[in-house]
Structure 1
Amino acid sequence: MKSKVEQPIAVICTFTWVGFICAISFMEAWLKFRAPGVTLPIGLGIGRLVFAALNKVEWVFAVAILISNIRIAKKISINPFYIIVVLILIVQTVWLLPALDARAELYIEGKTVPPSNLHLYYAIAEGIKFISLSVFGTKLFKLKNG
């Protein structure tokens, strides 16, 4: 069996996006605090910058995938796994990241911050986004005989 890719840009964007999630959300986010000399305020400042940049890059990937889909299908025919990813991205952009950013700012200013589940929600969202992107990307390959 051979596989065929009708949307190479979407495939590239999808799996590059998966790589960003793995490298940043699953590695950088917690490893930076293990580096010598990185205090909580410094680590939080770095995290704010990195996750703001990641969010912008994710929107570029999401739009590029949508444009690829429209260009190839000549209409919007979106996979439900892509919809899940975009919905998570919207929630992260309008609620989770601003709320986490505000908490980080309070820590950096030396203020007491009450306990919160925001980091847990973000981690769960990243896990779901990772799985959804992986399934979506895999479905971009069409198998055919011969």
Structure 2
Amino acid sequence: MKTTKFQLAIVSVFLWIGFVCAISFMEAWLKFRAPGVTLPIGLGIGRMVFAALNMMEWLFAILIAANLVMSKNKITSFSNLAYFIPLLMLLLQTFWLLPSLDSRAEIYIQGQVPPASTLHYYYVGVEIIKVVCLSIFGIKLFTKS
């Protein structure tokens, strides 16, 4: 049986992918189909869930970085680009997309309607980029050992 020095990173990568797929691609739109869930209630739940997801994503990102450093792998190497792209996307979400979407949700929760926006499309695009890159990175981790 072959072992790997990237066990923590591999587990973190695939858990990260699972969290993003479960929340962003399934829970996000399903909650609005549940009986009795109004738009303000769904948005309130969504804000809490996506804040928690964001914290978990940072945890996974930190665990991956720690494993790469502890394994004496040159973390800034070109082969880790598939890790740094999701990290960049996570920064974009944390400091721009989530706060902007939060503000829009608050407007809806208060009974008003904000102007039309394409922010949700950007968010979904960023999630797709993260999942694709993390999948590539996770597979590369298996072959690096």
Q: What's the TM-score, normalizing by structure 1? A: 0.93
Superposed counterparts of 1:1-146, under 5 Å: 4-73=3-72, 75-78=74-77, 79-142=80-143
Q: Counterpart amino acid of 1:126?
A: E
Higher strand proportion = 1
Runs of 5+ consecutive residues of structure 1 not aligned to the other structure:
none
The offset of 1:3, in angstroms, is: 5.7
SS in 1 for 2:143: strand
In 2, Cα distance between the equivalents of 1:143 and 1:119? 36
In 1, Cα distance between the equivalents of 2:95 and 2:18? 23
1:58 to 1:143, Cα distance in 2 relative to 1, 3 A: closer
In 2, Cα distance between the equivalents of 1:99 and 1:8? 36
Runs of 5+ consecutive residues of structure 2 not aligned to the other structure:
none
The offset of 1:112, in angstroms, is: 1.9
Q: Counterpart amino acid of 2:98?
A: L
In 1, Cα distance between the equivalents of 2:73 and 2:84? 18
The offset of 1:143, in angstroms, is: 7.3
* RMSD (Å), alpha carbons: 1.6
> For each residue in 1:101-140, what CA deviation from the matched residue of structure 2 results, as whole angstroms up to 9, or x when unmatched?
0000000001121000000000000000000000000000
Q: What's the TM-score, normalizing by structure 2? A: 0.94
The 4+ residue runs of structure 1 with deviation greater than 4 A are none
In 2, Cα distance between the equivalents of 1:77 and 1:127? 23
The offset of 1:83, in angstroms, is: 0.6
